[in-house]
Every structure is written in structure tokens, then in C-alpha cells.
Amino acid sequence: MKPVIGICANETTIIDSDSHWVSYTPKNFVSGCQQAGGLPLLLPISKPADCQQYVQQIDKLLLTGGQDVDPRFYGELPHQTLGGTQPERDRFELALIKEARAQGKPILGICRGMQLLNVALGGSLYQDLSLRPNPSLKHVQVPTPFRLPSHPVEIEKDSLLAQILPTNQPYQVNSFHHQTIHEVAPAFTVAATAPDGVIEALENKQERILAIQWHPELTFDNIKEEQGIFDYFVNQL
């Protein structure tokens, strides 16, 4: 049987109205899991009390991108650079993470997903890259298309990522985020960094958790190693 991949869904309105909301995820998350042999199942934003039953229905959990993580969840007040937040989504996905760990289900976090995992396990975020003590690279690569990489990352040689991506030279990734990791959660080790020191991947081998800052769902069509991330998650993690 195919492994069931629970993909956390976001919400938006399809017209300028409060009565036409949809639950969704970008299709490429679905496609990446399908191409890897997984059976994607969208998990709509729900009550945290429902997480135990949701997680029982899946084999692995995929946390996707989206809004900024509400800083209240790592003990900070909102800075003026903070973008839009959705606390209900944060609460639900934090509960999903807790339940997936309790049930021993592997987790992959992408972009916001990595940031939320770090918060869930006791770390914190810079609410904006401008708040870092040192200058940053351009991490929002607009107008460069996201299917193209825009900066290198250094992969740690003993990491889970090193089983998927090359480590003999800097690996090129795309980039679309304005928040980043500040304090790394104690349960995580850093698996990749950008030349400016921005953390690009975290992992916990024992709990089978992998988190990356870039967007392989936007590059796997033309970079085979990026599809390899989905392949590894679905079939090996």
C-alpha cells in the first residue's frame, strides 16, 4: 500500500467576501508526493482536539508554507516587520506536530513548516531578516522565477540531507522567506546554512524530522535532486 502523506492545508477566500473560503495546498506539494509514490491527504485547519485522529489516519506529515508564525508562540510581541499571521492555523499545526511526534510519525517541514517546527520544539525566529545582527543575502528572490535557484547552501556531511543532496560543493536553492531561525530548538541540529549564516535546514534523526527553508515543490520539475527530497521523505524518512 502507498504511504499516506498528510499535507497541512491553508485557507483563503476565492472572492472578496467572508463567505467563500476554501481549504487548499499548492498543487506541487501534492504532485511531489504522488511522483514519489505517496498518497496525499489534505488536512484542513481544524480543532487541536482532532489531531490525534487525523494523525492516526496518516503515515507521515508534511508542513507547508504560508503565513508568518505568530510570535506569541515563541514569547515575543509583534515587530513592525511582521507579516500576516493566522493563529488558528498555528495552533492546529502545533498540535499536529505534537501528536505526530507522540505517534512516531516522520515529519517534513518546508519554509514556514521549518520555522513552525523550530518553534514547536522550543526554538525562536527572527520576525524579519533585517533583525539579524549581520547583513543577509536576498532571500526573497522576486522577480527571479522560483523554479530557478538563487543562492547556495552548505550541506552538513553527516546529515540526512547529505543522503539526498551533494556535499562536495555548495548546493543551489531557491529562496522565498523574510523570517528565519533565531534560536535553534534543543532537539534540532543544523543540516544546512547559507553563506550569510541563515539556517537553511534542521533535522532530528532520532525522531525522523527533516525541515528545509527553500521550496523543492517549485523546482522538482527541472532539478532532479529536489524531487529526491520528496522521494526520500515518502519512502525512507
The per-residue pLDDT for range 141-162, each reduced to its tens digit, is 999 999 999 999 999 999 999 9
Task: Report the number of secondary-structure helices (H) and strands (E) in the chain.
Answer: 5, 13
Provide the mean pLDDT of the chain: 96
Residue 210, phi then psi, degrees to nearest 5: -130, 135
Amino acid 163: pLDDT: 94
How does residue 13 score in pLDDT terms, banded at 50, 70 and 90? confident
17 confidence band (pLDDT: 50, 70, 90)? low
Would the pLDDT of 16 be above 80?
no
Active site residues: 111, 215, 217
Give CATH superfamily name and number for 4-235.
Class I glutamine amidotransferase (GATase) domain (3.40.50.880)
Question: Is the pLDDT score of 21 beyond 90?
Answer: no
Residue 35 has pLDDT above 70, yes or no: yes
> Which triple of cell numbers denotes residue 45?
485547519
